[in-house]
Amino acid sequence: MVSIRSLALVFNTLSVFLAIAVIVINVTDIPDTGNEEIPFTYGFLVLGALTILVCLFGFVGVLKGHICTTWTYAIMQLVLLIAMIALMTVFKMHHTKKTPPEEILNQAIISQKEGGDAMDEYQERFQCCGINGAGDYAGFVLPKSCADTNLNTWNSGCLQKMKTEAEEDLEAPQFIGWALMVVQMASFVCSTIMGVKLNNSARRARY
């Protein structure tokens, strides 16, 4: 039968790997992160680094069977779990409140038709034309950004590509973040049970 100590070691190890994944994902995303997203990126980096340090501390408590170290580790895991839940919740709310892609592109194409170049950024980036296609420019001259270097017009619109990128940008961080929270919760439960058992063993030894 698998012991609580073995489970604690397994979940502790998983926490380390997931924390490393959180750090790697956020570090690689820094160049493409906007000013509004930077606080969240640094928040995840700090929590990832703290999780690794706490887990290293936890290995000592689990392997040595120290009562004080085990309980300290359990409390720190609980604090990190609460902090991660709070950060993930605020992160999700922030993205929910962001201006929808439809509204961004509608404003950009109006500006483009009035002689501006607001759509160029999106059309060059996503290799697309208009919101839903080149037909959005009916009655207007197609911008140069609607075509490739061979002057072939992009067939697809920018809206779907913009939505897809937004979903992909959230998918990996959210999956790793929620996975880390589940493992942190399991680590907290295992270390708490282990702490109770160590307390009981110490109490029995005194009699």
Q: Is residue 91 part of a domain?
A: yes
Same domain, 79 and 138: no
Residue 136: which domain range? Answer: 102-160
Are 25 and 47 in contact by the 8 Å Cβ rule? The answer is no
Q: Total domain count for the chain?
A: 2
DSSP line for 152-188: PBP-S-HHHHHHHHHHHHHHHHHHHHHHHHHHHHHHH
Average pLDDT, integer, range 156-179: 84
pLDDT of residue 1: 37
Average pLDDT over residues 188-197: 86
Mean pLDDT of 11-25: 90
Long-range pairs of 68-75 with CB within 8 A, sequence gap ≥ 24: 70/191, 70/194, 70/195, 70/198, 71/191, 71/195, 73/191, 74/188, 74/191, 74/192, 74/195
129 shares a domain with 68: no
- If asked whether residues 108 and 89 sit together in one domain, one would say no
Q: What is the pLDDT of residues 102-158, one digit of tens each?
A: 899 999 999 998 888 889 989 998 999 999 998 899 888 888 899 888 888 888 899
87 and 179 co-located in one domain = yes
Give domain status of residue 20, yes or no: yes
Residues 45 and 75 in one domain: yes
Query: Reduced to 3 states, what is the DSSP secondary structure of residue 61?
Result: helix
Residues 47 and 90 in one domain: yes
Which residue has better confidence, 170 or 122?
A: 122
Same domain, 186 and 143: no
Those residues whose C-beta lies under 8 Å from the C-beta of residue 113, and which sit 6 or more positions away, are 137, 140
pLDDT in tens, 51-99: 999 988 888 877 777 788 888 888 999 999 999 999 888 888 877 777 7
Calculate the average pLDDT of the chain.
86
Averaged pLDDT, 170-199: 86
Tokens standing for residue 164: 């897809």
DSSP bridge pairs for 153: 147
Q: Which of 33, 51, 50 is nearest to 91 (CA)?
A: 33
The answer to whether residue 194 is domain-embedded is: yes
CATH code of the domain covering residue 154? 1.10.1450.10
Query: pLDDT at position 207, please?
Result: 63
What average pLDDT does range 158-180 have in this prediction? Answer: 84
- Displacement of CA 141 from its chain's centroid (Å): 41
User: Do residues 95 and 11 both lie within one domain?
Assistant: yes
Same domain, 95 and 176: yes
Tell me if 167 is assigned to some domain.
no
Q: State the pLDDT at residue 62.
A: 75
